[in-house]
């Protein structure tokens, strides 16, 4: 740190913030349900659908696509290789490849899409008040689709996400994407096939060493991309985030879609970050239970039918923000030397070079941060953040007052807050509480979390479990705002823990926290210094901190901000702290804490997993086979 | 087109012409013998060095290029002063002069094509400065002692502004543009010398070393790599060594089919003189009208018919080079040697950094009995490339095979002269109808391959059938001899067309690369796209023309040639914009597996990529050769390294 000129960095950070600061540049939204409420859904589902395609390419029939893949040099090479290794005849391997492809491939059919367009219109109107889309983003996307192959990268919070995506693209007459979906969906009779016919293709969750599977899969995706038959859509986070925090990105598919650019097979690839924000998530309480170890219900059609009861509830609005397309070519400029691909035949699969790997990793993180940046936050996420710091409950008036204060702070940190215009604060607070009445209630002027009351006698474990469900559900809202506050909050904690106010000591603490939390939060690799400078800049900007010479000190008015930030990260710090002795004692987490547990979030399997990964990464623990 | 024209008429008239030329040949040989005897007799009279000089001068200059090049060639554009494109008062394009097949013809479709392609207008002229402004030329800074010693040798020299400026540039866009604009020159040669033979060069190089003068060899002046530009930082006197007067064929060895030739001879003279004896080299780079043998050696040139005759490195048997350390040459003319790394390969491509190539022994072939053009239309570029790849795979490429993309195909059509008979027009119309309607080819997608077959008649016809059969499997359709020939005419006049463009706010340039077969399509697409994108980003107001053709096929890849032009109205510094775009295009080429150059060379234009291209160790190897051969950097043009 001491080697970096702080003032230069400040300017640099300021500039990047300006670039990233989307306050001025964020587009407005349009509610696409409005038209649906005023005109026939059937007409809508049957209307003429003629999207523009990539450079006017003619759409490719699913069968033709399969043939191209099966006959590609890439696949033929791997088939021969596998055949030589296994001693099986090439045509048997070829047959195997064909079966894999059959199992994987989408069979997009416009009739199925029309069916979904109709059914989803009905469902959305019942479930949601609004489905809002930034139309400028749609226009940018339309432009991008015509110029270069496009990869759609939505955030993933709900099963709803990919149906919603296709629905929106259909609504705006854009090319329907092909979507990478987990194989588990295929287990759903009928529905799996319906999804396949609306553009989903299915991949196994793990196929580590299976060369043939990988070859078929990657060639299938690349063929679609190279020829620009359809936009490709997948979830960088790999799975639905049960915590509503963005998950650290998975790189497999991103590697596949970027490689054709490095090999010169396409001029460019456009990555489009898409942020889908739900005011209330359909899976809300399911997720909390899952995090506490109740197994995820297997995807099944009957399960889906049972889930119909959710149709009777109000889930508020959805905001879908199509971000600025990111050109891989521009990103790679000066970072990856494409000519290193010149000396090896392009059809022979190769592990990406280190330079490429770190570029893809970096890109993945940047995209997830772009998703975070454009996540629309509702007033409730601010309220949830406050309530979680006051688990014993708080006066409604205090909550209201602090929410207003927090709103100001969030806005000055460029949060994308959807605060109703012209509504009195009390009204905003009360309507938020009304929508989330399953999570919080007001009684006697005090607001507190709702704890599910099971029938009959309650064991202490059950009581704890119910309490934890309510805390974790609430935390999934607080988590939505974390990306806005994360860096200043880490700085606040670092200032609190550092032995002195010397800038480099604070930085060392910050850097430790940054490193430790990099499994839990989206922290771009190598950005420690930049994040630190950003945190300083933001805290100074809001007057909470002063930086005379080489010190970082709190100002007279900084107390509320810093203590809020300390409280915000408290559950994570406590959780990580508690997990260490747990590991040593080898007892199940629940047993140890049944006594007087204050930190419910440590029970979240997500936090345990991340903490363990961090400890492993930092060499604090070691895996031993028993 | 001079040479091809004469070739063509020769073949059309068949064998009677050939016997004519044989009789004139024997006469010529007899005369030459006499001259040589006379020379030998004279030799005994004077001292050695004096004699050689006299011998050099005794020969009457038979070459096309006079010492005062500006007497027949444009000082600020391409080619002969009498030949140029212009839009006449009716707005129709015509090509002036008498030298070319297109000369004196009206090209009715060119204006439309020009205006539509570039968004240009014949009413918006950007005329060139009419004459060289001598005050824009820096005064000659002469090394007096060198001049004195040079005078004593009797070798002609000049320090007139016109002579010096003419040798201060090649034909890069920025060079020609600067001449047209009358820009002030930063650095030009301080004098020009015209050696008449090898021993003149030896003397000049010795004097240059003695007086520490910088020498820049100058052959045909057709460089497109800034290779002839004088390094502005050079403080010594710069002498341009113009080889144009060293233009004799010294002997022809019919037993071994080689000819020993002075390296200053230009392509068209070499072919013409050899043709008189019934031979040819078959080396026909597009610049052969003006480029010189020494220049070919110094840049590793490639000829259009390399499939039959080979590139320059395949044609050369023996090279004589004068360097500051003395003369390099091999001691025999064995057709191949295993004597360590081939020293010829230090010379081939040395771009004037090591010395002056003075004499070359190169292979010759009897003039082919029969020559036939041809063309094939393909539905799209992909099909065309696939066909060329197959032809290369079966190793049955004709003397020349080139695939022009759709843009170039349309360009070629715009150059069609006014048709004299209604009938030809009718036939053309039918053909067009057949290709575009009946065969379902999209006129905005179709591409054309032009072919040139050579050999004895029967073999040519057989060969032709083989190639057309392959083409048919890729959807190719034979499209006649005329289309083929037109493609090759385009090659010779396109440089003239650039001057026309520059009269109307259009700048243009070409560049080339070589690339493995599997990357040809990707490279072409990406480079074009990159150019379009860069133009847009750099504020070019009009859609640029980007066009490419596959001009050579090899076993393992192809040579791709790009044309790139745009209307520069509204740009403050069009040349700078152009250079940035070309730079980006070259980076794109390298990123897509293309080479830094197939035959143009590196010069100073592409030096920055040499390390990347041949590794820093490779650059070090070349540098150590340079350091040994020319420790004082007498050959200081600073090309390549």
Residue B635 tokens, joined: 């050959």
Instruction: Judge whether A355 is closer than 8 Å to chain B, CB to CB.
Output: no
Report which of A64, A84, A83, A82 is spatially closest to residue A72, judged by C-alpha positions.
Answer: A64
CB A264 to CB B519 under 8 A? Answer: yes
Q: Give the model's pLDDT for residue B55.
A: 56
B104 annotated to a ligand binding site: no
Q: Give the model's pLDDT for residue A57.
A: 74
B590: which chain A residues are within 8 Å (Cβ-Cβ)?
339
A337: which chain B residues are within 8 Å (Cβ-Cβ)?
591
Are the beta carbons of A450 and A437 closer than 8 angstroms?
Answer: yes
Residue B369 tokens, joined: 């009995």
Report which of B345, B166, B179, B296 is spatially closest to residue B601, judged by C-alpha positions.
Answer: B296
DSSP state, residue A619: T
Instruction: Judge whether A143 is closer than 8 Å to chain B, CB to CB.
Output: no
Residue whose pair of structure tokens reads 């041809």 in the numeric block: B374
Instruction: Judge whether B8 is closer than 8 Å to chain A, CB to CB.
Output: no
CB B612 to CB A339 under 8 A? Answer: yes
Instruction: Judge whether A265 is closer than 8 Å to chain B, CB to CB.
Output: yes
Instruction: Judge whether A302 is closer than 8 Å to chain B, CB to CB.
Output: no
- As for the ipTM of the complex, it is 0.85
Count, residues in chain A: 626
Report which of B370, B574, B367, B402 is spatially closest to residue B488, judged by C-alpha positions.
Answer: B402
B325 annotated to a ligand binding site: no
**C-alpha dihedral over B514, B517, B520, B521, to 10 degrees?**
170
A263: which chain B residues are within 8 Å (Cβ-Cβ)?
522
Instruction: Judge whether A159 is closer than 8 Å to chain B, CB to CB.
Output: no
pLDDT lower than 70: segments of chain B: 1-62, 419-427, 430, 433, 438
Spell B609-620 as b/e; 16+ CB within 10 A means b: bbeeeeeeeebe
B220 annotated to a ligand binding site: yes
Residue A5 pLDDT greater than 80, yes or no: no
Predicted model pTM: 0.88
Instruction: Judge whether A345 is closer than 8 Å to chain B, CB to CB.
Output: yes
CB atoms within 10 A of CB B464: 16
Whole-Å CA distances, A466 to A460, A473, A571, A590, B53? 10, 11, 18, 13, 110
What number of H helices and E strands is found in chain B? 21, 21
Helical ranges in B416-519 per DSSP H: 422-433, 457-473, 481-503
A267: which chain B residues are within 8 Å (Cβ-Cβ)?
525-526, 529-530
Instruction: DSSP for A189-233, please give it.
Output: TTHHHHHHHTTEEEE-S--TT-HHHHHHHHHHHHHHHHHTSS-EE
Residue A119 pLDDT greater than 60, yes or no: yes
Rounded-to-integer distance, Cα A365 and Cα A378, Å: 24
Cα of A99 vs its chain's centroid, Å = 32
Spell B317-327 as b/e; 16+ CB within 10 A means b: bbbbbbbbeee
Strand partners, B316: B362
Residue whose pair of structure tokens reads 């199925």 in the numeric block: A112
Secondary structure E strands in B292-446: 316-323, 326-328, 356-363, 365-366, 370-378, 400-404
When scoring A54, A77, A339 by the number of chain B Cβ atoms within 10 A, the one with the most, hence best to mutate, is: A339
Residue A453 tokens, joined: 């009351």
Is B561 one of the annotated active-site residues of the chain? yes
Find the catalytic residue in B80, B496, B561, B563.
B561
Are the beta carbons of B557 and B542 closer than 8 angstroms?
Answer: no
Average model confidence (pLDDT) for chain A? Answer: 86
Nearest CB partner across the interface for B593, out of A267, A337, A342 = A342
A341: which chain B residues are within 8 Å (Cβ-Cβ)?
593
DSSP state, residue B185: P
Are the beta carbons of B618 and B239 closer than 8 angstroms?
Answer: no
What is the percent of chain B with per-residue pLDDT over 90, rounded to a whole number?
78
Instruction: Judge whether B537 is closer than 8 Å to chain A, CB to CB.
Output: no
CB B526 to CB A346 under 8 A? Answer: no
Minimal-distance CA residue of chain B relative to A265: B522
Instruction: Judge whether B430 is closer than 8 Å to chain A, CB to CB.
Output: no
Q: What is the pLDDT of residues B140-180, one digit of tens each?
A: 999 999 999 999 999 999 999 999 999 999 999 999 999 99
CB A339 to CB B526 under 8 A? Answer: no
Spell A530-559 as b/e; 16+ CB within 10 A means b: bbbbbbbbbbbebebbebeeeebebeeebe
CB B591 to CB A267 under 8 A? Answer: no
Question: Predicted confidence band at A110 (pLDDT cuts at 50, 70, 90)?
Answer: confident
Minimal-distance CA residue of chain B relative to A340: B591
Residue A549 pLDDT greater than 90, yes or no: no
Helix (H, G, I), strand (E, B) or coil at B258: strand
B529: which chain A residues are within 8 Å (Cβ-Cβ)?
267
The phi, psi pair for B563, rounded to 5°, reads -115, 145
CB A345 to CB B518 under 8 A? Answer: yes
Minimal-distance CA residue of chain A relative to B590: A339
When scoring B590, B591, B609 by the number of chain A Cβ atoms within 10 A, the one with the most, hence best to mutate, is: B591
Minimal-distance CA residue of chain B relative to A342: B593
A338: which chain B residues are within 8 Å (Cβ-Cβ)?
591-592
Residue A586 pLDDT greater than 80, yes or no: no
Rounded-to-integer distance, Cα B484 and Cα B300, Å: 27
B93 annotated to a ligand binding site: no
Strand partners, A273: A153
Report which of A280, A29, A279 is spatially closest to residue A133, judged by C-alpha positions.
Answer: A29
Instruction: Judge whether B122 is closer than 8 Å to chain A, CB to CB.
Output: no
Q: Give the model's pLDDT for residue A296.
A: 66
């Amino acid at each position: 740190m001491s080697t970096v000129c702080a003032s230069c960095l400040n300017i640099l950070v300021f500039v990047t913030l300006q670039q990233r600061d989307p306050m001025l540049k964020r587009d407005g939204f349009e509610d696409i349900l409005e038209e649906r409420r005023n005109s026939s859904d059937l007409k809508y589902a049957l209307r003429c659908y003629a999207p523009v395609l990539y450079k006017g390419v003619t759409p490719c029939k699913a069968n033709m696509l399969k043939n191209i893949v099966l006959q590609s040099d890439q696949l033929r090479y791997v088939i021969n290789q596998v055949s030589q290794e296994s001693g099986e005849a090439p045509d048997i391997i070829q047959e195997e490849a064909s079966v894999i492809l059959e199992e994987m491939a989408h069979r997009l059919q416009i009739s199925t899409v029309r069916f979904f367009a109709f059914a989803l219109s009905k469902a959305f109107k019942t479930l949601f008040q609004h489905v809002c889309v930034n139309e400028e983003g749609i226009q940018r996307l339309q432009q991008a689709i015509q110029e270069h192959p496009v990869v759609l990268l939505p955030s993933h919070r709900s099963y709803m996400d990919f149906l919603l995506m296709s629905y929106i693209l259909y609504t705006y007459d854009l090319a329907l994407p092909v979507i990478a979906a987990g194989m588990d969906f295929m287990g759903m009779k009928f529905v799996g096939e319906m999804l396949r016919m609306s553009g989903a293709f299915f991949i196994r969750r793990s196929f580590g060493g299976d060369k043939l599977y990988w070859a078929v899969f990657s060639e299938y995706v690349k063929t679609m991309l190279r020829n620009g038959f359809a936009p490709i859509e997948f979830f960088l986070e790999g799975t639905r985030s049960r915590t509503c925090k963005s998950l650290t990105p998975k790189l497999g598919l991103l590697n596949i879609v970027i490689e054709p650019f490095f090999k010169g097979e396409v001029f460019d690839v456009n990555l489009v970050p898409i942020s889908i924000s739900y005011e209330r998530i359909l899976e809300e309480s399911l997720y909390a239970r899952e995090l506490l170890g109740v197994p995820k219900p297997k995807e099944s059609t009957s399960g889906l039918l049972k889930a119909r009861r959710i149709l009777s509830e109000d889930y508020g609005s959805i905001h879908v923000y199509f971000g600025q397309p990111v050109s891989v070519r521009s990103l790679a400029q000066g970072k990856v030397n494409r000519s290193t691909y010149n000396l090896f035949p392009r059809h022979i699969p190769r592990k990406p070079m280190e330079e490429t790997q770190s570029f893809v990793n970096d890109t993945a993180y940047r995209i997830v941060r772009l998703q975070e940046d454009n996540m629309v936050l509702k007033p409730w996420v601010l309220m949830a953040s406050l309530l979680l710091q006051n688990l014993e409950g708080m006066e409604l008036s205090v909550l209201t007052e602090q929410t207003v204060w927090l709103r100001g702070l969030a806005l000055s940190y460029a949060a994308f807050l959807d605060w109703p215009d012209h509504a009195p604060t009390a009204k905003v607070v009360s309507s938020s509480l009304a929508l989330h009445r399953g999570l919080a209630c007001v009684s006697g002027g005090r607001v507190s979390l709702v704890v599910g009351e099971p029938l009959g006698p309650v064991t202490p474990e059950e009581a704890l479990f119910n309490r934890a469900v309510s805390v974790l559900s609430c935390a999934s809202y607080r988590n939505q705002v974390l990306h806005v506050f994360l860096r200043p909050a880490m700085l606040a904690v670092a200032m609190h823990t550092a032995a002195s106010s010397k800038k480099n000591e604070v930085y060392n603490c910050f850097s430790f926290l940054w490193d430790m939390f990099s499994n839990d939060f989206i922290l771009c690799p190598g950005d420690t210094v930049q994040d630190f400078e950003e945190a300083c800049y933001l805290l100074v900007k809001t007057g909470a901190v002063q930086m005379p010479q080489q010190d970082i000190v709190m100002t007279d008015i900084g107390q509320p901000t810093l203590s809020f930030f300390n409280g915000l990260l408290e559950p994570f710090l406590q959780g990580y702290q508690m997990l260490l002795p747990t590991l040593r004692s080898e007892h199940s987490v629940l047993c140890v804490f049944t006594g007087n547990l204050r930190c419910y979030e440590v029970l979240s399997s997500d936090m345990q997993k991340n903490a363990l990964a961090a400890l492993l990464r930092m060499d604090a623990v070691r895996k031993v086979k028993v | 087109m001079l040479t091809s024209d004469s070739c063509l008429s020769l073949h059309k008239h068949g064998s009677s012409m050939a016997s004519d030329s044989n009789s004139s040949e024997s006469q010529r040989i007899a005369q030459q013998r006499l001259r040589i005897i006379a020379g030998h007799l004279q030799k005994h009279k004077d001292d050695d060095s004096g004699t050689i000089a006299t011998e050099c001068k005794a020969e009457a200059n038979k070459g096309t290029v006079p010492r005062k090049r500006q007497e027949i060639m444009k000082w600020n554009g391409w080619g002969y002063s009498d030949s140029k494109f212009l839009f006449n008062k009716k707005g129709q394009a015509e090509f002036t002069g008498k030298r070319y097949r297109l000369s004196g013809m009206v090209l009715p479709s060119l204006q439309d094509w020009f205006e539509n392609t570039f968004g240009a207008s014949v009413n918006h002229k950007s005329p060139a400065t009419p004459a060289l402004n001598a005050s824009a030329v820096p005064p000659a800074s002469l090394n007096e002692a060198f001049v004195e010693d040079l005078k004593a040798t009797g070798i002609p020299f000049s320090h007139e502004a016109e002579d010096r400026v003419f040798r201060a540039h090649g034909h890069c866009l920025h060079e020609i543009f600067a001449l047209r604009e009358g820009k002030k020159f930063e650095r030009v040669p301080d004098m020009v010398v015209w050696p008449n033979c090898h021993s003149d060069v030896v003397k000049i190089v010795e004097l240059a070393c003695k007086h520490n003068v910088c020498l820049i060899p100058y052959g045909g002046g057709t460089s497109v790599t800034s290779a002839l530009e004088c390094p502005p930082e050079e403080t010594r006197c710069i002498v341009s060594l113009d080889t144009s007067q060293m233009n004799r064929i010294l002997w022809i060895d019919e037993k071994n089919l080689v000819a020993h030739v002075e390296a200053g001879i230009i392509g068209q003279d070499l072919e013409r003189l050899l043709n008189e004896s019934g031979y040819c080299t078959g080396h026909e780079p597009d610049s052969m009208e003006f480029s010189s043998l020494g220049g070919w050696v110094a840049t590793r040139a490639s000829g259009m018919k390399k499939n039959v005759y080979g590139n320059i490195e395949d044609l050369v048997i023996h090279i004589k080079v004068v360097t500051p350390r003395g003369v390099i040459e091999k001691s025999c003319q064995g057709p191949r040697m295993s004597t360590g790394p081939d020293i010829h390969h230090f010379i081939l491509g040395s771009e004037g950094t090591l010395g002056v190539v003075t004499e070359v022994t190169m292979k010759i072939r009897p003039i082919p009995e029969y020559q036939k053009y041809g063309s094939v239309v393909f539905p799209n570029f992909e099909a065309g490339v696939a066909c060329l790849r197959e032809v290369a795979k079966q190793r049955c490429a004709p003397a020349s095979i080139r695939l022009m993309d759709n843009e170039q195909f349309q360009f070629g059509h715009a150059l069609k002269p006014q048709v004299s008979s209604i009938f030809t027009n009718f036939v053309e119309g039918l053909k067009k109808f057949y290709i575009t309607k009946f065969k379902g080819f999209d006129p905005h997608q179709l591409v054309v391959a032009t072919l040139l077959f050579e050999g004895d008649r029967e073999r040519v016809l057989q060969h032709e059938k083989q190639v057309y059969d392959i083409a048919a499997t890729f959807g190719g359709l034979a499209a006649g001899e005329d289309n083929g020939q037109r493609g090759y005419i385009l090659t010779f006049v396109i440089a003239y067309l650039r001057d026309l463009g520059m009269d109307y706010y259009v700048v243009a340039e070409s560049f080339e690369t070589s690339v493995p077969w599997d990357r040809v399509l990707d490279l072409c697409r990406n480079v074009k796209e990159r150019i379009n994108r860069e133009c847009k980003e750099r504020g070019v107001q009009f859609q640029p023309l980007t066009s490419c053709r596959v001009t050579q096929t090899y076993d393992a890849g192809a040579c791709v040639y790009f044309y790139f032009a745009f209307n520069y109205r509204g740009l403050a510094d069009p040349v700078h914009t152009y250079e940035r775009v070309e730079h980006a295009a070259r980076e794109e080429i390298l990123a897509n597996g293309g080479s830094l150059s197939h035959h143009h060379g590196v010069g100073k234009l592409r030096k920055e990529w040499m390390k990347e291209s041949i590794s820093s160790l490779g650059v070090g190897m070349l540098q150590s050769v340079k350091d040994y051969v020319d420790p004082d950097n007498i050959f200081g043009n600073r090309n390549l390294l």
